[in-house]
Structure 1
């Protein structure tokens, strides 16, 4: 049976066609640029902008999203030599099959039910020893947004501190590399310029001490 979340996101991508720019998210590019490539897991990959950038830079990527139409857009943009496994799955149920050198989730927000904290705690368990966990979220709405959520439409926009607390990590096992609100420029549909804050949390899993 198809979940409400799966129907919502598939209908959204199918009706709107390409929704995003196709470019890498600024926070991921900034935080991961210069890191030696390895295996990466991109959770809620959407149309694949982050996954494609990672693959172009030598990463072996597993990209997971709930919407087949979004995955199809990303797969169509894949270039020869890009090592990407595209997976259609509901993150509320999907289990990472192994550990990765980088696990990333960018803007994993939803107007329909999404066990976000549970998904992100599961993501942390998929980070390899000495690997990285990067979580990027909206910390506010863009200046042009006039939409007021309908009853039942609640989107949580946690701060970096709140994201870290929700992960329930053992402090001795992790090193916080970035925990910040980061401002970035945005352009409205009418062409007007503004800024928006992102919540950025980057952690490294400490190597096990024998």
Structure 2
């Protein structure tokens, strides 16, 4: 698998990388909420949510449409400007339930025990940063609240889907679950579901996600 050898794994976490990617096109993402979010959260009573790596805002807007008050975080102010504009387009009620914050997730520390839902989809940082980040995200969940972490599975590197060839960035659901204290957390889902995608040549390929959904006891 090929990639830009001028980049390293930390570059893929930077504001410069993501601002350039968002500036390169009118829309990077589909505008639809992540399907694992919809699957896992549709029947959950709304509260305060943290959408980590919110991008152009589709997940946060979907949550707000279901009554959640959502803080969206992203490293890219370009993405956040789009997210805020799309929330405004969705109406005053949605805009009023969403707020947006630019931050480097590798150094940011959320308030402890603050959120009913912390959701992070496809946030890939080097393993040493990931362990710290996931620990901080878990600490931000209040008692009875939920942690939902979804990522690209390492097995994707064995396909033609076109992932950057940095194995250190990818993770399994079991790795996320293993870092949670079983006295504090009930694991609801620890799975590696497959889905169909197209590779850069337009060929169908089966890829796998890492999905961890846990609830803080108490």
TM range (shorter): 0.7 to 0.9
* More deviation, 3-12/124-133: 3-12
Contact 1:100/1:131 (8 A) holds in 2: yes
What is the match of residue 103 of structure 1? 118
> Is the Cα–Cα contact under 8 Å of residues 185 and 194 in structure 1 kept in the other structure?
yes
Alpha-carbon distance in 2 for matches of 1:113, 1:171: 22
Matches within 5 A, 1:117-136: 117-136=131-150
**Kept in 2: contact 1:25–1:50 (CA 8 A):** yes
Q: Provide, for residues 49-84 of structure 1, a one-character-per-residue CA deviation record: whole Å limited to 9, x for no partner.
A: 211111111110000000011111211111221110
Q: CA deviation at 1:8?
A: 1.7
| SS of residue paired to 2:31 | coil
Residues in 2 aligned to 1:27 and 1:52: alpha-carbon distance in whole angstroms: 15
Query: 5+ residue gaps in structure 1?
Result: none
SS of structure 1 residue aligned to 2:156: coil
Deviations 1:158-196 (A, max 9, x none): 11111222x3x3211110000000112324566544332
Q: Which consecutive residues of structure 2, in runs of 5 or more, have no partner in the other structure? A: 1-9
2:98 aligns with one of 74, 79, 84: 84
Using the TM superposition, give the Cα deviation of residue 96 of structure 1 relative to its aligned residue in structure 2, in angstroms: 1.5
Against the structure 1 CA distance between its residues 147 and 33, is the aligned structure 2 distance closer, same or farther, given a 3 Å change threshold?
closer
Please give the TM-score of this superposition, normalised by the length of structure 1. Answer: 0.85
CA RMSD in angstroms comes to: 2.3
Question: TM-score, structure 2 length as denominator?
Answer: 0.82
Q: State the distance in 2 between where 1:96 and 1:118 align.
A: 12
Instruction: Give how far 1:16 is off.
Output: 3.2
Distance in 2 (CA, whole Å) between partners of 1:67 and 1:38 is 26
**Counterpart Cα distance in 1 of 2:32 and 2:141:** 24
Alignment partner of 1:158 out of 171, 176, 180: 171
Cross-structure match for 2:187: 176
- Aligned residues between the structures: 199
Structure with the higher fraction of residues in helix conformation: 2
Change (3 A) 1:113 1:31: closer
| Counterpart in the other structure of 2:197 | 186
Match of 1:20 among 29, 32, 54: 29
Q: For the Cα contact (< 8 Å) 1:92–1:114, is it kept in 2?
A: no
- 2:6 counterpart residue number: none
Given that residues 133 and 204 in structure 1 are in contact (C-alpha distance below 8 angstroms), is that contact kept between their aligned partners in structure 2?
yes
